[in-house]
A and B are shown apart, each in its own frame.
Chain A
Amino acid sequence: MAGDVVELENVGLRYSDAGAETLRDVRLRLTRGGFYFLTGPSGAGKTSLLKLLYLQQRPTRGLLRLFGEDVAALGRDRLPAFRRRIGVVFQDFRLIRHLSAFDNVALPLRVSGTSERDLREPVREMLAWVGLSKRQDAKPATLSGGEQQRVAIARAVIGRPELLVADEPTGNVDPGMAERLLHLFDALNQLGTTVVIATHDVHLFGRAGRARLLRLEHGTIADPTGEFAHPPRAAALAAAG
């Protein structure tokens, strides 16, 4: 379907030749403009699935389509352009330790060639939104876990990606801030971004009205009604609207 941003068919992921499959037989379609929570017990493979989405790993079997293109056929030289369409909040943040909070948030814009003049204001605004205006010159090592997480989120959304992938983005912040950050994802979603959030935080689920819940168990999507393997047209339209 043309409206699918992500499409997985019988996808398997194996980290080593000898080991068992971490992901197996994953069938999943994420509709453009959809808002998804990905949940499941620790070790179920949530992070592994997200790694496939942001192109850190490639499936060891099955078909993965991103933005309508088969990832297996993507040459190395085309990866950067794809990755620039995806914003990622890594579970371990992956902030660059030599860079200030400001420079970390500015990174995606600089990578994609935005001029210094054009990026200053948006970066400041984004830092203000996540409550870090006063900390913009701080290096990651001097930030608390929650502050680092907010820098990571600001960096993921600054470029207004078509697909936002967030791995436990509220694991280190208090409930008030978690709600504020959810607002941010929601606002981005309203602008058309497809949002996928892996989380254990059951309180979050009810907050985003249009969100759908994906459950991962033992490396595969629990999808008894088949709505994620074959999303009904009505649901896709509702998610897009």
Chain B
Amino acid sequence: MRQPASLRLDAPERRLLPDGRAEGPMPWVLAIMLFLLILAAAGGLAMTRAAAGLGEGIADRVTVQIVEADPAARERGTARALQLLAADPATRRAARVPDAEVAALVEAGLGEGALAAEVALPAMIDVDLAGGAAAVDELRARLRAAVPAARVDANGRWLAPVADLVRLLRLLAAGLMVLMLAASAAVVALAARAALNGHRGTIETLHLLGATDRQIVRLFQRRIALDAVFGGAVALAAAAAVLLLLGARLAELQSSLVSLAALRPSSWALLAALPAAGVLLATLVARATLLRALRRGP
């Protein structure tokens, strides 16, 4: 009996309709929709992160190697190449990779101890270019002319199709989200109309007793909102379980591309907010549907 005022005021209104949630599969269908919505969003977020990571990696990053057995000739070639690069307006940055790092890279590739002291390592220069593929080709031609031992590797070459794919997947995720939201809205509108039809007599009586459309809408809207909260909670729990499991599996792959796509805490917060947005959408759609249906009635 001693409930807070807000609850007490709501209670009698709630009792105008039979207890329990709306008939039919609406809460579960909504749960499925929101579940897929969260997964699509997670995919989209992962792709966005990956695209950003790739973008940094492939932005005209070029590696120049001077492959020359004779150390003196190698140093000369490297110095000449650096000179050329410095003079080139397309060069944003050019820096020699310290020999120790080159050795570590090679060792990582070949296994520890694989390097005998006398094995000649190439000299490496990291270059950031402006101007895309054409600039890379031009640089390659000029370097080859001046320093025959120079080899130019454009990292972006093999990453570009990956980046395209990631972009496509991101679009797909966004498209799926829009479809999912539209389908959710349709389900809610159908459920709202079914609820009205199921209580036509009660609604007419309430009208004749002087109830306003808004009062009647509030009854149904509350029930649909509660159903949506249920669906949203189920969806969030299921999606979190799936994403955590998937995340653990992917982490085991230890691929740099996969790690790029790992979800940040801010992404998780965004995903958790989605079901809440779904509930809000459901409530608004229900309200609009109900008001319009009632206005068309007697």
Contact = CB atoms under 8 A, between A and B. Distances in A.
Of B13, B18, B208, most buried by chain A (CB within 10 Å of CB) is B208
Nearest to A103: B15
Contacts of B204: 56
A199 to B, nearest CB: 20
B80 interface: no
A134 interface: no
A81 interface: yes
A83 B17 contact: no
Contacts of A108: 209-210
A81 B210 contact: yes
B211 A116 contact: no
Contacts of B8: 116
Interface in B250-298: 295, 298
Contact of B15 (A54, A88, A99): A99
Given A80-B210, A111-B209, A99 B16 contact: yes
A76 B295 contact: yes
A111 B215 contact: yes
Contacts of B298: 56
A96 B200 CA distance: 11
A103 B12 CA distance: 8
B83 interface: no
B206 interface: yes
Which 5 pairs of residues, A with B, have the shortest CB-CB distance? A84-B210, A83-B210, A98-B18, A80-B212, A94-B205
A54 to B, nearest CB: 6
A144 interface: no
12 contacts: A54-B208, A80-B210, A96-B202, A96-B205, A98-B18, A98-B19, A106-B12, A108-B210, A110-B13, A111-B209, A111-B210, A116-B8
The interface size bin for chain A is 20 to 34
Contacts of B13: 110
B18 A111 contact: no
Interface of A: 54-56, 76-77, 79-84, 88, 90, 94, 96, 98-99, 103, 106-108, 110-112, 116, 155
Contact of A94 (B12, B19, B208): B208
B9 interface: yes
Interface in B187-242: 201-202, 204-212, 215
A90 B295 CA distance: 24
B17 A80 contact: no
- The SS class assigned to the B binding surface is helix
A80 B15 contact: no
Interface residues of B, number: 23
Q: Is the interface of A mostly helix, strand, loop or mixed?
A: helix
A99 B15 CA distance: 7
Contacts of A55: 208
Nearest to A115: B9
Nearest to B19: A98
Nearest to A119: B12
B208 A107 contact: no
Question: Which one of A90, A99, A111, A112 has the greatest number of beta carbons of chain B within 10 Å?
Answer: A111
Query: Which residue of B9, B201, B209 has the most chain A CB atoms within 10 A of its CB atom?
Result: B209
Contacts of A54: 208
A111 B298 CA distance: 19
Contacts of B17: 98
A164 B180 CA distance: 52
B210 A56 contact: no
Most buried by B among A80, A82, A88, A108: A80
Contacts of B12: 103, 106, 110, 116
A81 B215 CA distance: 13
A231 to B, nearest CB: 28
A98 B207 contact: no
Given A77-B212, A96-B16, A111-B210, 4 more contacts: A56-B204, A80-B211, A107-B16, A108-B209
A241 to B, nearest CB: 30
A111 B216 CA distance: 10
Contacts of A94: 201, 205, 208
Nearest to A96: B202
A155 B208 CA distance: 12
Contacts of B206: 96, 107, 111
Contacts of A98: 15-19, 202
B168 to A, nearest CB: 51
A83 B210 CA distance: 5
Contact of B207 (A77, A83, A96, A99): A83
Given A103-B15, A110-B12, A116-B8, A56 B209 contact: no
Nearest to A82: B210
B201 to A, nearest CB: 8
A83 B16 contact: no
